Structure 1
Amino acid sequence: MMNRKLGTNGPLVSAIGLGCMGMSGAYGQSDEKEAIATIERALELGHNFLDTADYYAVGQNEELISHAINNKRDKAFLSVKTGQLYTAGPNGAMGPGPVSGHPDYLHNAVFYSLRRLKTDYIDLYTQARVDPKVPIEETMGALSDLVQKGVIRYIGLSEASAESIRKAATVHPITALQIEYSLWSRDIEAEVLPTIRELGIGLVAYAPLSRGFLSGEFKKPEDIKDSRVNMPRYQGENFYKNLSLVEKIKTLATEKGCTPAQLAIAWVLAQGDDIITIPGSKRIKHVEENIASEQVKLTGEDLQSIEAIMPAGIVSGTRYPERFMNALNG
């Protein structure tokens, strides 16, 4: 098991955590019993960083985690995101709406999370997106107050710009930035990553497998039958351009004696000791495969070969539909 410090002054956590969103129907059907067993297996192997959000299945994901960590709270590091509001669309279905960084909202939301998780505190509480209508300093002030109250231990931001991160850090130390980072998503390397390293903030890289594409399991667009069908990288011509890159990664992985998924995770971890990653899994076999990525040691030559195949910016298509892109880099 590989542990890493989360930020300059943060806690020691597992370098590979567990993203729990997919356990509550985000990517197709899931089985609650199997999901709980998957979380238990991750904890058994010492991988304690469990990532969720109060808006995953409108709180149901937190409730599922509470069952899995029953009598094991001391073994789990709970990372909870908040601030993404869900509203009913024209057909009545719930979907992502605006974000809220209002202090009153945060003071209210955290206690609902505590109730659902059946715990007295949350280890890392993260503002999921920057609210453009609320100064980031006010949001951070509310989060700082929750630290003083003892209901959260560390503060995180997600999908924030370098400017917002700097403003927020003047109010209270930020332990981690959660943001998409993978072979396919490297925008943060230009400005955000240098900023958080300057400020001593750890990076929690989500979607290291680009929502499964880098695992090499998808062969044609029709193989995707869930919300990913709406994401440009998985559509039409983009799909096949990106698939050709994955096929080259598969060849490298075979030469290294690992799976493409393990190679992709190992690449993220190789980008710095201040990075942890949280691949999403809802099955034990995938958790065990992901955790084994720690054993994949990439040489300088390996990294050069990977870079030659997938330099920054080569991926075709944006990572979210256009209507969601303006919420990024807030």
Structure 2
Amino acid sequence: MASTWNRHHVLSLADFTPEEYDTVLQTAASFREVLSRRTKKVPTLQGQVVANLFFEPSTRTRSSFELAAKRLSADTLNFAASTSSLTKGETILDTAKTYLAMGTDMMVIRHREAGVPQAIADEMDRLGVRVGVLNAGDGQHEHPSQALLDLFTTCTLIDSDRPRLELLKDKKIAIVGDILHSRVARSNIWSLTASGAEVHLAAPPTLLPQLFADFTTNAPGKLFLHWQVEPALENADFVMTLRLQKERMTQHLLPSLREYHQRFGITRDRLRICQPDVKVLHPGPVNRGVEISSDLMDDPQFSLIQAQVTSGVAVRMALLYLMGSSKA
């Protein structure tokens, strides 16, 4: 499968092809099988170094990438901004070049500012080195690996043995919450519309500006905007609820969390208008009782939240493997 992959960096899903999506999904499926074994480690990236450069806090993504690299037998370097030379005035690019000098083969980058992973990838390319850069979330831009693990989670639910993009064709998928500030939503819009799904965005007008109507252009799927939650949920096959990112809200965009939950919170009652077998996703971390009711979050009949975390390791193994295998 790696022979069909020639992408050196993974920075955005905007230009992903259907073949690339399917390559990631099928590779992740093979690693999911590896993770079910007693010995969960394979030597595929032995001798390579993966640096996790996280310039903002993270639990799931950072731990998932670190575990994925170790399961592939890579050596890992972990960076924390608060204890780094950034506090002494070192630039981000100089930090990246320091890790390059240590022999890093791949860099996983998270930053609160959009465009930082791209800038580091451009610098690596300018230096003529074969160091792959993977965007682990940048500002309000994208979070490709999260969208890919969401895709893997939903597709394996439909066909566990052969997850593929076409399985979501004509499925109705509702994305509810703080879409304005969500890099997860942006990446999911690219992947889900590429599959041919109907994607329905729902949020208060302050968190879902009209500009999202023009987010995709040539995708086979369709994108719809709603400022009430019910039209988005009606007959939905999957509901993805997003965290209210209060740390990124620079203005008073909501009257109160209580009112938000009353109008847009996902509860059992609200799911009654969805398909009977509807499933709920959330990228985490979750504000219980705000975006989603606590009992619904913990109900395995509806919730795929823990499955998403499990899928994350297999998908990130797939990405690291494909990028590592494509090194010249």
TM-score tier (shorter): 0.3 to 0.5
TM-score (norm 1): 0.34
